[in-house]
Amino acid sequence: MMCCAHGAEGLVKEQIAREGWRLAFSRPGFVTAKHDQPRQSPTGVFIRTTAKSLGSAKGDHSSQLIEKLKAAIADETVAFDQLHVWPRDRTAIGKFDFEPGIDEVSAAVADEIFHGLNDLHVATGVTPILKCTEPNQIAESGERVLDVVLVDPSQWFFGMHDANTLPTRWPGGVQPVQPAYEPISRAYFKAAESIAWSGFDMRPGDLAVEVGSAPGGACGRLLEMGMDVIGVDPAEMDPRINNHPRFIHYPARAGDLPRRVFRGAKWLLVDSTVKPDATLSTVRNMVDSRETDFRGLLITMKLGQYDNAENLNRWCDFIRSWGVKRLEVRQLARNRCEVCAAVTV
């Protein structure tokens, strides 16, 4: 069973069908499938979470559903390290201010499930079926996770996965973040997730450049991490960012600035409201300059509509033509109809 952004399920279905998976139950933001041969769970740009299905249940009362969950895992001989409970995306990210992740309903259900499984033990002994002390904690690498997806409040799907990458350690694949201050915009959360997912070794004192910086959400995250930041955007920055002693604003387009402005910068973040071809052309010119020495790039590529994902291979080939060391692409949990490219130069 797989979760994705509401609206991206068509791309997920196309990908897994090419890999020989047969589609089963699905809803916007949620897809299940079967394979005739033993296979690892699918992964891909638009797949946010994936788990081996253990069954599903429908019912009017949570107590009924918890009993069905107990029956589904009754034969498990190894305890689960963590319990993750979350809802599928109910609408497109950003629509009506919707954000993905654990909401009040799923948090309450998670507590009910956790307490409901307290008296359950593995099939071969007296070991409790759950090792965790509360639900929806960040899993440690290698831990075994019991997943419950609320497709609807009255319809749950059960699964399990091993936490072997950073996003698989987060409940529902959504990074839990506790900002030090009220974020200026949701770009704060996109930047936080992209930095964590990329694995870039960003450190206090590093110089980072953000193209498309206004009003300052992502810059706020970079400053919070102790970095020096250059923001490039013709639009105005929020005063809380603009007046920060470690921030410099260039009210211009990146292509119009002399490249010496970016001397000493290690990291480049790009999140501009222009088409990917134009974005990538600008980034290439910045990376190719003798004046710059970027180590890592985080590039948001706006799709506009999911049909434009057919261009992803072409855009990735263009990035690889720069002679980069590593390229990974993912639709972050916080991305709207867009994807993020993490590039090691």
pLDDT in tens, 241-295: 999 999 999 999 999 999 999 999 999 999 999 999 999 999 999 999 999 999 9
Same domain, 296 and 210: yes
pLDDT in tens, 107-140: 999 999 999 998 889 887 778 999 999 999 999 9
Same domain, 284 and 254: yes
- The answer to whether the beta carbons of residues 229 and 219 sit under 8 Å apart is yes
CATH number at residue 76: 3.30.2130
Q: What 3-state class would DSSP assign to 169?
A: helix
Q: How is the beta sheet containing 267-270 ordered, strand by strand?
A: 247-250, 228-232, 207-211, 267-270, 296-302, 338-344, 326-330
- The answer to whether the beta carbons of residues 10 and 337 sit under 8 Å apart is no
2-3/49-50 β-pairing = antiparallel
Residue-level pLDDT at 237: 98
Same domain, 192 and 312: yes
Same domain, 82 and 221: no
Report if residue 312 sits inside a domain.
Answer: yes
Q: How far is CA 144 from the centre of its chain?
A: 20
What are the residues facing 58 on neighbouring strands?
155
Q: Cα angle at 85 between 144 and 158, to 5 degrees?
A: 70
pLDDT in tens, 139-182: 999 999 999 999 999 999 999 999 999 999 999 999 999 898 89
Residue with tokens 């692409």: 329
pTM to 2 decimal places:
0.94
Tell me how far apart the alpha carbons of residues 225 and 78 are, in angstroms, rounded to a whole number.
Answer: 39
Domain that holds residue 285: 187-344
